[in-house]
Amino acid sequence: MKKKYKFLDNINFPSDIKSISQSDLKILANEVRQEMIEVVSETGGHLGAGLGVVELTVALHYIFNTPNDKLIWDVGHQTYPHKILTGRKDRIRTLRKAGGLSGFTKRSESEYDPFGAAHSSTSISSALGIAVANKLSNKSDNIIAVIGDGAMSAGMAYEAMNNAGATKTKIIVILNDNDMSIAKPVGAMRTYLAKILSGKLYFSFRETVKLIISAFSKRFSKKAGKAEDFLRSVVTGGTLFSSMGFYYIGPIDGHDMNDLVSVLKNAKEINYDGPIMIHIKTEKGKGYKYAEKSLDKYHGVTKFNINTGVQEKSKSNTPSYTKVFANTLVKHAEKDSKIIGVTAAMPSGTGMDIFGEKFPLRMFDVGIAEQHAVTFAAGLATEGYKPYAAIYSTFLQRAYDQVVHDVAIQSLPVRFAIDRAGLVGADGPTHAGSFDITYLSTLPNFVVMAASDESELVKMINTSVDINDKPSAFRYPRGNGVGLELPGINEKLELGKGRIIKEGKKIALISFGARLNECLIACESLKKKGVNITLVDARFVKPLDENLIWQLATDHEAIITIEEGSIGGFGSHVGHFLNDKNLLDNNLKYRSMILPDRFIEHDKPDLMYKYAGLDSNNIEIKILDTLNSKIIIKKTN
């Protein structure tokens, strides 16, 4: 039964919040927090970060006139309270479900989401762009960006701040500090001074002093400026931000509603041409004791019991691909001291936490800094070490120039462990690993592998250990394996060699990656209909097994490739080879099955693959269509 709330039941849009007295905002915040806990316990999703910004969310919508004033959330995984207050309360239990609300901000979902985000550290850049656009259009709307301290570890945030500090354009950046020790603990005096420094009186006095000293010598002016900067750095601790051109305020308690409202009100009303940084201290998981005690386990959660905090466990008895990778790498590292682990703020997501527990001096979490992670790994490789850069496919996109310039051109043996390959479910298109096959396989002298199951993943890791003259990558999906026994660490693959799974007639189906099991289901179904298929696990897109493809082309009437990636990947390489060797001139039919040319919205992974046309039923249809068979199968996408 849905809870009854004193204030939240009557809040549908931010304009409704303004009818509440400031003294009652804390009650509203508590109701929003409770509703969010209830919702995420049913839907799963990101919990800790959202709980930490409840008061901030209420205060922002109370003070600013959204959606005219633009509120931009970095990453967007902390925006569930924002969604509850911006016309989406009645749909909040559809969060991350098919046809429901996104787990991140999304422009097409609401006018209160002025910029879509799911990768970090984009908020200041986009906010500055919107602010400059408004300035050019003579608009006076406020532009506010909320960025976490974790996202501040990415270089893009500093690039944006550097640019913002050089402009005469007002934006308000709120640094949500919930982990890193950027400043000393919040105290009453610091909060009081933050209010003073953000107030009209201080700004007016500051500008008046500037006008007075401008009439005197440059020498006096310099000294006055230095004195003010020194005073502000002592008072607020904002030396770094001040040096980048930001007017720094804080830190303040991000859970004290009165302080938040006062400082935000001052920042809104001040006529200041330039960027303002408001530093708030918050607690991740605030208000839910289980999340407060175990921040890592409650950052992203499955459905859970509110009373006990116990999360639903996977029903699969097979290990996840991530754990298979981590445990296999640990076994190799026990024998090879040159193996190093590198990740970009995703130690638990990539399994590098397991590696780090065993080898704390050989695992490096560099923060949300994929560009740095790749070039850091390249530096390690120049000195004879064997770095494994474990990065999600979607995040590795952020470091493509480094992959090309710092790794590939120099043929440095960096090993890329690419987790979350293919479609990933509830996180949707922003986190899907759709493009890595294409963007890596275009690079010269690069080994690119894709695991069809957990056993193959182990063999690919084993193989990568000995690739010492060039970069290599192996990709694997989110979720659990298919239940195969794992080989030992000495079982390796011959570079560029695929394997034949089943031998049939007329048509050869070549799978690259984790669609192999769906191919097997399709083959078994077709066998009952009298159609026997040759099924191949390609294993490699680079180097391509040209001998095997030549053999398949000469022995069959048709070849079909299938992969969990976009155009330009495995199928494109096979098609180029067939065409280049004139193998298509002999009435050979060639078809490729790839992800469609559109972004696929969040859903359960198996349903996403169905919509993408890459499930077993669609594989059957493609095979029969290629053979011009009269057997009819109902199309499913």
- Residues catalogued as catalytic: 284, 370, 398
Strands in 534-537's sheet, in edge-to-edge order, are 499-502, 534-537, 507-512, 558-563, 589-593
Q: Which residue has the tokens 């466990």?
A: 313
Query: Helices 570-580 and 546-555, interaxial angle, to 10°?
Result: 70
Question: From CA 622, how far away is CA 587, in angstroms rounded?
Answer: 18
Q: What are phi and psi of 636, to 5 degrees?
A: -115, -5
Strands (DSSP E) contained in 64-217 are: 70-73, 143-148, 171-177
DSSP calls for 224-252: HHHHHHHHHHHHH--HHHHHTT-EEEEEE
CA 515 vs. chain centroid, Å, equals 23
Q: What are phi and psi of 28, to 5 degrees?
A: -60, -40
Question: From CA 423, how far away is CA 432, in angstroms rounded?
Answer: 5
252 - beta bridge partners? 280
Question: From CA 387, how far away is CA 383, in angstroms rounded?
Answer: 10
What's the token pair of residue 599? 């972004």
Question: From CA 569, how far away is CA 572, in angstroms rounded?
Answer: 5
For residue 578, the 8-state DSSP code is H
Element (H, E) at 552: helix 546-555
Q: Is residue 457 packed enough to be buried (19+ CB in 10 Å), middle (13-18) or exposed (0-12)?
A: buried
Question: From CA 394, how far away is CA 55, in angstroms rounded?
Answer: 31
Q: Which residue has the tokens 């069959």?
A: 556
Verify cis geometry, omega within 30 degrees of 0, for the bond prior to 413.
no
Q: Is-contact 304 51, C-beta < 8 A?
A: no
CA 407 vs. chain centroid, Å, equals 23
For residue 314, the 8-state DSSP code is P
Question: From CA 609, how far away is CA 621, in angstroms rounded?
Answer: 15
Question: From CA 458, how far away is CA 471, in angstroms rounded?
Answer: 18
**Residue 545, helix vs strand vs coil:** coil
Q: Is-contact 453 514, C-beta < 8 A?
A: yes
Largest distance between two CA atoms of the chain:
97
Q: Is-contact 380 387, C-beta < 8 A?
A: yes
DSSP calls for 148-181: ETTGGGSHHHHHHHHHHHHS---EEEEEEESSS-
Q: Is-contact 79 50, C-beta < 8 A?
A: yes
